[in-house]
Amino acid sequence: MLQSISQERINNMAIFVNENTKVLVQGLTGGQGRFHGLRNRDYGTQVVAGVTPGKAGQDVEGIPVYDSVEAAVIATGATASFIAVPPKAAPAAILEAARAGISFIVCITEGVPAQDEARVFANLQRDFPKTRLLGPNCPGIISPGKCNIGITAGEIAALPTKHGPNVGIVSRSGTLTYQALYELKQLNIGVSTCVGIGGDPVPGTSFVDCLAEFQADPETHAIIMIGEIGGTAEEEAAEFITNHVTKPMSAYIAGVTAPAGKKMGHAGAIVSGGKGTAQGKMDALRSAGVMIGLNPTEACDLMSQIVAGF
């Protein structure tokens, strides 16, 4: 049974992050961390600190840098972390943030070995159940007009309107996330929150996690889901939708023409042993009542038809 909506959520809406979220950037002094951290700050996100061991006391355009996540949390009250560090450092950075009490971690790092992802995910589940990890290898999350953590360009996202209808987006593909955001903006459809969960084999946050939050979010009136070949995440989502999601949905599944046994872009995008095909995923979602687009543009056009009925 879905949890009841708290009064704080009613006031702030969106999912996972909002205008009150205080963010620190692990790797702020590096090239990627600086570039995207400052873009997030300039968007209006409360980027309150950076973390780079050995560089405490420095600042990046007014953002103070600390040696550890713990020190940054004590000084600033940050509750979210944006991790932009190399693959070898990412697992330790994630666990450091969790130990410091960070409740929401966004890791954009690509190339983290699957065994490391599995180990970190298991550690979080066992030792830090109140910490949510988004990624690795994801574009991040944006609640338009409120908070942007990651590498999504804020200017392509339409602001939600007070009475809606507003759409929530959850996607395994970063590039298709951007396309969906921009096409909805062209259609004058507001977005409550857009979540890129990433395409690695062991994502910290799943379709089901996001669908549950969107179902409970009063600012979200409809949902777009973008999946791809490989794994069973879309089939699991279809089962959850059947049993728990009452909001209308459209979806697109990438990889219809992908050959079996060949990895396509993402580490998790591979059809193996006859499982994980695009057709199987589309059939499962269609059976759950989701409208299926045969390309990303069609999925957004279908959403335009859905919101026109509100």
Question: Which are the catalytic amino acids?
Answer: 266
From edge to edge, which strands make up the β-sheet containing 222-228?
147-150, 140-143, 190-196, 166-171, 222-228, 249-254, 291-293
Listed in order, strand segments (DSSP E) in 109-199 are: 132-134, 140-143, 147-150, 166-171, 190-196
Q: Which of 77, 39, 79 is nearest to 61 (CA)?
A: 39
Other residues' Cβ atoms within 10 Å of the Cβ of residue 54: 8
Assigned token pair, 113: 């070995």
Residue with tokens 């190399």: 86
CB-based contact 79:12 (threshold 8 Å): no
Residues 6+ apart with CB under 8 A from 74: none
Phi and psi at 113, nearest 5°, equal -55, 145
> How far apart are the two ends of the chain, measured CA to CA in Å?
26
**Is the bond preceding residue 136 a cis peptide, omega within 30 degrees?**
yes
For the packed helices 114-127 and 90-99, what is the interaxial angle rounded to 10 degrees? 10
Q: How many CA atoms lie within 13 A of 156 on its CB side?
A: 14
